[in-house]
Amino acid sequence: MSTSILSDSVSLGENTRYGEFCVFGENVTIGSGCVIGHAVKIHTGSVIGDNVRIDDNTVIGKLPMKAANSATTKEQTLPPATIKSNCIIGTTVILYRGCSIGEKVLVADLATVRENVSVGDFTIVGRGVTIENFCKVGRYCKLESNVYLCAYSTLEDRVFVAPCTATSNDNYMGRSEERFKHFKGVTIKKGGRIGVNSTILPGKVIGADSMVAGGALVTKDTPEGKIVAGSPAKVWREVDSDQLLKNQGWPE
Ligand SMILES: CC(C)(COP(=O)(O)OP(=O)(O)OC[C@H]1O[C@@H](n2cnc3c(N)ncnc32)[C@H](O)[C@@H]1OP(=O)(O)O)[C@@H](O)C(=O)NCCC(=O)NCCS
């Protein structure tokens, strides 16, 4: 006898398998050929495509929590979480209600993707990555282990963010009413690359195909196609032409 609990209104596609101790809520739709591990919780209304793998202990469609003292999380009605076909979702991942995950995306173990976030096709969300609310992540991006992407950030396509990069959105650090006017996440334009353990200050724009060297502190927008380095980061030199996006022969 199965130890899993499926609501009567769950729709399961052909050849989809699930392990023990799973709970699938009302009106959950799961496509065909999916492989779902043990103790996976899929909340009400979540929509999952075909051939999706979801590993043990993962939670899909978690409702946001609003702290009594939260400045940014509002009461809101959110659409269900959606995961398109051919994705791999690791173990102990948390995908909130109101997030949408494109096709062939990999979300590695322990990552969290908040509400009002979209992740484009073919993107990799690495181990332990946090994507806060109201972020847009493009196609073919790579967010390596433990990247912290703050709320209201935009990553265009083909962006690479190395491990432990931290981004920020509030220069007022939670003080004064003035802060609400200036609250702004970071933008990384198409093909921008961020080196390991960099810090990007609120509202900064990383130019297309620009590279931030490891350990940099980005206090100004960075120009297209240039490497910036140091603390504060200064323009160092051009990105080598063999590394430019246009010279990789990749599809758009
Ligand atoms: C920017 C980078 C690619 C440049 O590499 P490079 O051209 O081989 O640079 P070099 O190692 O020859 O160093 C040249 C000079 O720049 C300095 N330098 C190199 N990287 C630096 C950095 N991140 N910040 C500050 N100075 C740096 C070096 O100390 C050296 O100075 P010197 O001439 O006074 O000795 C590299 O240093 C870097 O930061 N890589 C990030 C790697 C990363 O995050 N990868 C992600 C996947 S894990």
- In testing the pocket of ligand 1, which one of 196, 211, 242 has its CB within 8 Å of the most ligand atoms? 196
Compare 71 and 247 and report the one with higher pLDDT: 247
**Does the bond joining 232 to the residue before it have cis omega, within 30 degrees of 0?**
yes
The residue length of the chain stands at: 252
How large is the average pLDDT for residues 160-181?
A: 92
Angle at 145 between CA 144 and CA 150, to 5 degrees: 80
| Band (251; pLDDT cuts 50, 70, 90) | confident
Expressed in angstroms and rounded, the spacing between residue 171 Cα and the centre of ligand 1 is: 28
The model's pTM is 0.96
Report pLDDT for 246: 95
- In testing the pocket of ligand 1, which one of 236, 237, 238, 243 has its CB within 8 Å of the most ligand atoms? 236
Expressed in angstroms and rounded, the spacing between residue 213 Cα and the centre of ligand 1 is: 6
| Domains within the chain, CATH numbers bracketed | 5-65+77-247 (2.160.10.10)
Residue-wise pLDDT for 57-112, tens only, equals: 999 999 999 888 877 666 789 999 999 999 999 999 999 999 999 999 999 999 99
> Which amino acids bring their CB within 6 angstroms of ligand 1?
162, 195-196, 213-215, 227, 229-230
For residue 239, the tally of other CB atoms under 10 A from its CB is: 17
How large is the average pLDDT for residues 217-236?
A: 98
Minimal-distance CA residue to ligand 1 atom 19: 213
How large is the average pLDDT for residues 124-131?
A: 98
Q: Which of 32-36, 137-141, 150-154, 182-186 has the lowest mean pLDDT?
A: 182-186
- Ligand 1 atom with the shortest distance to the CA of 196: 44
Type of residue numbered 202: P
